Chains A and B, each alone.
Chain A
Amino acid sequence: MRERPAVEIEFLKKRYGKFVALDGVALSVPRGTVFGLLGPNGAGKSTLVKSLLTIIRPTECRGSLLDKSIGDRKTLARVGYLPEHARFPDYLTGREVIRYSAGLAGVPGRIAKERAEALVGTVGMGDWGDKKVGTYSKGMKQRIGLAQALVNEPEIVFLDEPTDGVDPEGRIEIRKLIEAMREQGRTVFVNSHLLGEVEQVADEVAILSRGKVIRSGKVRDLTAGSRMFEIRSLGPVPPEIRGKLETAGLEVAGDRITVPAADAGEVQGVIDALRAAGVVIRELKEVRQSLEELFLSAVSSARQEGGKP
């Protein structure tokens, strides 16, 4: 039997007075994957996650989280969460923050102590675990935040802008931690506006704009939809062949010819035509649209459809 998704939102709406923050969102997050929710500021990413975690009360919501209705409080014992701009009590040490979170999640004291011990090491805070959070840098707080999100050994972890304020080295470590969570079989739901990072780690993404999901699917499928090949010639493409290529709908710029094609077979005819015209080919490569390009075009299209520039 096929495993049910970790998150399955059939319909999610959140309205603040006249402002609609989430406008009937529907999405599905497969178990054991890293899912990236992308969107510009104010798109509703945090609102969506908070709605799933009962931090916000949705106006209308149908769907399931870990096979239970969204909003079921007991299910939250199987969930981990690192909020955006996470704030922990300054008077607690890193280890105490993790144990406090464990206590709230109902983890027995002895087990919480053992896990806190292991997790401070996992997030690279072993030497700082007994120091007060008030003395931590932003990156250190994020690491402790990750550790507290994992202390109840959750089946799904929600990370809202996990690399916000973290230095490049820290970002790489957080990415590795996310990959490790996936290897452990956890589902990771990442909210981020840092597309490059999500692209490196996410299996699936959804793009949210103005409270609506405008694109969603596997990263590979979404970027493959606009796959191209790029041919570089030795010197500029001669005008006579350039005219023919442009007439055929190809883009030619100097020594570069861009061929929209799903596979290499479709490019062979162009290569033959170039060689027949005596053009020396010095490079042929497959070009995929990056997630950033996909995101920008999707958001731009959505804005145009919405009637704003």
Chain B
Amino acid sequence: MRAALAILWDSFRLLQARKLFWFALGISVLVALFYASIGFNAKGMTLFFGAKTMENPLLQEGKPEAAAFYVMIFTDVIVKLWLAWVAVVLALLSTASIFPDFISEGSIGIALSKPVGRLRLFLLKYFGGLMFVALQVTVFTTIVFVALGMRVGEWNLTVFWAVPVITFVFSLLYCMAVWIGIWTRSTLFALLGAFMMWGTALLVQWGEEGLYEISHFNPEAGVTVDFRSGTRSEGESREKDPEMVAMHRNIERAVLPLPKTRDATNYLKRLVRMKERDSLLSGVTLDDLLKGELPDPKKAAAMKRLENRHSAAYVFGTSALFEVVILSLAAWIFCRRDY
């Protein structure tokens, strides 16, 4: 236990010493404060603590749409753009060197000559690296939680799902950096490996979502896209193209062994629950609310199915399996190597 505390405390001190940690935390607080500055009055949405008003028939004080919109800004914009992108990149840049530094000559010997098992040492050091994101997201989410309570009167503890979910998303990339960092002893290769894995996983996930839209969403919602002119028209639901459905099924299989960083981030929207949104605004998008109009029920239902097309087992289970495999490889090298 003492050894575990010593390693975690050392990880915390390491993060404190990184300028990027404070830079990322500073921006996180600014973004959270901007979020807190958004409010609603009788005319519509206000920005910068009421300094600017944007008129909107739906997003008005006391309306459930306004509350849902406020949560959506968090789940659809801030989480996706800031927490799951920029903050994760900064975290990777800050933590990629942890293992290459740890296993360097003259450093690793002291830790290995102590009565702490190698596997335990490895896991503790790994979890210490995850603190970077966990701390950032905790601070951020706390501000969001308070803002949500004060702005729409809903003290919604489910927003704290962001902490484990975003930390998990980061861990999917960090495990790759750890494996390559231990294998090559190089921070640069660790970073390249993590970013390449991330890029590959994102491309395949985007492809899968695009194909789902073409094969399932568009026929269900009655959306027709003219790819030559780029125009979209909406009509009646139609039959799905079996070839496109099969193609989507194939790409879904290709995604299966990969880490689902994007899907996991999207899944957060299903975990952050609001009574009004879940009953009345199912399938309604941020765009719909910003335009001040609600979509027809058919399209909203199709959108809901698109958002919910993957189960938690598919998103988190298969990603966790990926992480276990990669971490096992890293741990195997770490435990077997002579230093």
- A residues contacting B by CB (< 8 A) are 16, 50, 53-57, 73-77, 79, 81, 83-92, 96, 99-109, 148, 158
Contact = CB atoms under 8 A, between A and B. Distances in A.
Contacts of A108: 2
A245 B335 CA distance: 66
Contact of A109 (B2, B7, B13, B111): B2
Given A88-B107, A91-B16, A100 B6 contact: yes
Interface in B1-17: 2-3, 5-7, 9-10, 13-14, 16-17
A86 B113 CA distance: 13
A159 to B, nearest CB: 12
Interface in B289-332: none
Contacts of A53: 109, 112-113
A162 to B, nearest CB: 13
B27 interface: no
28 contacts: A55-B113, A55-B339, A56-B338, A57-B336, A74-B115, A77-B114, A81-B113, A83-B106, A83-B110, A85-B105, A87-B105, A88-B110, A89-B13, A91-B13, A92-B13, A96-B13, A103-B3, A103-B6, A103-B9, A104-B6, A104-B110, A104-B111, A104-B116, A106-B3, A106-B115, A108-B2, A109-B2, A158-B113
Contacts of B113: 53-55, 76, 79, 81, 83, 158
Contacts of A85: 105-106
6 A-B pairs closest in CB distance: A103-B6, A91-B17, A83-B109, A87-B106, A104-B114, A85-B106
Contacts of B114: 76-77, 101, 104-106
Contacts of A84: 106
Given A76-B114, A99-B6, A106-B114, 13 more contacts: A16-B338, A50-B109, A53-B109, A53-B112, A54-B112, A55-B112, A73-B115, A73-B116, A75-B115, A76-B115, A86-B109, A89-B101, A106-B115
B108 interface: yes
Nearest to B6: A103
A303 to B, nearest CB: 26
Contacts of A86: 106-107, 109-110
B123 to A, nearest CB: 15
Contact of A81 (B3, B6, B17, B110): B110
Interface residues of B, number: 29
B200 interface: no
B101 to A, nearest CB: 8
Point out which of A53, A55, A104, A109 has the most chain B C-beta atoms below 10 A from its C-beta: A104
Given A76-B114, A100-B10, A103-B5, A55 B108 contact: yes
Interface of B: 2-3, 5-7, 9-10, 13-14, 16-17, 101, 104-117, 336, 338-339
A148 B106 CA distance: 13
A103 B9 CA distance: 10
Contacts of B116: 73, 104
Contacts of B2: 103, 106-109
Contacts of A88: 107, 110
A87 B107 contact: yes
A97 to B, nearest CB: 9
A243 B94 CA distance: 79
Contacts of B16: 91
B1 to A, nearest CB: 9
A267 to B, nearest CB: 50
A91 B338 contact: no
A106 B9 CA distance: 14
B339 to A, nearest CB: 5
A166 to B, nearest CB: 15
A99 B14 CA distance: 15
A86 B14 CA distance: 18
Nearest to B10: A100
A275 B104 CA distance: 67
Point out which of A57, A73, A87, A102 has the most chain B C-beta atoms below 10 A from its C-beta: A87
Nearest to A141: B106
Contact of A148 (B104, B110, B112): B110
Contact of A87 (B5, B17, B104): B104
Contacts of B104: 87
A234 to B, nearest CB: 57
A100 B10 CA distance: 7
A92 B10 contact: yes
A50 B339 contact: yes
A247 B105 CA distance: 57
Contacts of A77: 114-115
A220 B114 CA distance: 34
Contacts of B115: 73-77, 105-106
A71 to B, nearest CB: 12
Contacts of A105: 3, 114-115
Contacts of A76: 113-115
Contacts of A102: 6
A89 B339 contact: no
Point out which of B14, B110, B117 has the most chain A C-beta atoms below 10 A from its C-beta: B110
A36 to B, nearest CB: 20
A65 to B, nearest CB: 11
Nearest to A93: B13
A103 B106 CA distance: 18
A53 B118 CA distance: 12
Contacts of A50: 109, 338-339
Contacts of A56: 338-339
